[in-house]
Amino acid sequence: MDALLDVILPVFLVLGGGYAAARAGLFDDPMVDGVMRFAQTFAVPCLLFRGVARLDLGQAFDPGLMAAFYLGVLAAYAAAFGLARRAFGRSTVDALSIAFVAAFSNTLLLGLPITERAYGPGALAGNYAIIAVHAPVLYMLGISLMEAARARGRGLSPVAVSTLIGRGLVSQPLILGIVAGLAVNLLGLPLPGVAWSAVDMLAAAAIPAALFGLGGVLNRYRPEGDRATIAMVCAVSLVLHPAVTYGLGLAFGLSTDFLRSAVITAAMAPGVNAYLYAHLYDAGKRVAASSVLFGTAGCLLTAWAWLQIVP
């Protein structure tokens, strides 16, 4: 439990700092929006670019590991979308945003350090493989589905819908960062050291800026009226996703290290990128912000439980 506190408490402190600053009037709404825009438009795309550009594509994937984790992602996505639409009466756009939040685990800030503290640095190969493609895969999926939903809401033809999806994808800084990183990786494009240093500086600011900005956002949104939806998102994220991944991991015969990496990563709370997605489309933002907060708190207990279940 001490290890979990050491990992999760700093996240709460940064979130709390943004919340306290906003509450005290030192971090007003335009400033909060500016920080979130900086994170979403510049810092996080640089983080994604760096991760994809430096990824060893030839050694990053074990089919069973990826299938167990990402089929769990799809199960969480589908369950949260269906419940948001049917049980809570949300619009398609809101439901897609809520589903993205439920499916987007905090693989980096929580999953990596918790796995390392529990099993040692030698058990992290599976974590790195999942992290390398996590944000690109989910952003591509989430943005494609959202752009399709928004386009179809206008009664457009399939060709027009496909065109709008394509335009939506290529106009998003997050996707541009992924595509640029992939181009550098596949084509072996050399970048001067000074360019990498600049990318590293912006990438290093991504998570702290997003977390601090999210703290300011939390001062703006209250969970009133959305408590049941937030509880559903946390349950899907902390229980359903890892349960599906655990069952599939056993069925696929994953090694102990890969099973640990897949399940513990799947069991993490929604990450700050989930709110960035909601902010991007101005959909389900109150649910997203609160789910990150309450899910991270709940992770103290559920992560401990999954550590007892996984061999």
Answer positive or negative: Cα dihedral of 59, 78, 213, 177: positive
Judge whether residue 91 has pLDDT over 80. yes
Provide the b/e sequence for 113-150 (b: ≥16 CB within 10 Å).
Answer: bbbbebbeeebbbbbbbbbbbbbbbbbbbbbebbbbbb
The arithmetic mean of pLDDT across residues 277-298, rounded, is 87
**For residue 145, what are the domain limits?**
2-309
Confidence grade of residue 10 (pLDDT, cut at 50, 70, 90):
confident
pLDDT tens figures, 41-75: 899 889 878 877 877 766 557 899 999 999 999 99
CATH code, 127: 1.20.1530.20
pLDDT tens figures, 159-213: 666 776 677 666 778 778 878 888 898 888 888 999 999 999 998 898 888 889 8
pLDDT tens figures, 101-149: 999 998 877 787 788 778 887 777 788 788 777 877 888 889 888 888 8
- pLDDT, residue 157, reads 63
The arithmetic mean of pLDDT across residues 4-8, rounded, is 69
- pLDDT, residue 59, reads 57
CA 235 to each of CA 37, 96, 158, 270: distance values in angstroms, whole numbers, following the listed order: 29, 17, 35, 11
Domain count, the chain: 1
pLDDT tens figures, 24-46: 999 998 999 899 889 888 998 89
Confidence grade of residue 3 (pLDDT, cut at 50, 70, 90):
low
pLDDT tens figures, 244-271: 999 999 999 999 999 999 999 999 989 8
Record the pTM: 0.78
Judge whether residue 280 has pLDDT over 60. yes
CA 249 to each of CA 135, 243, 290: distance values in angstroms, whole numbers, following the listed order: 21, 10, 30
Dist. CA 172–CA 177, nearest whole Å:
9
Of 14 and 113, more confident: 14
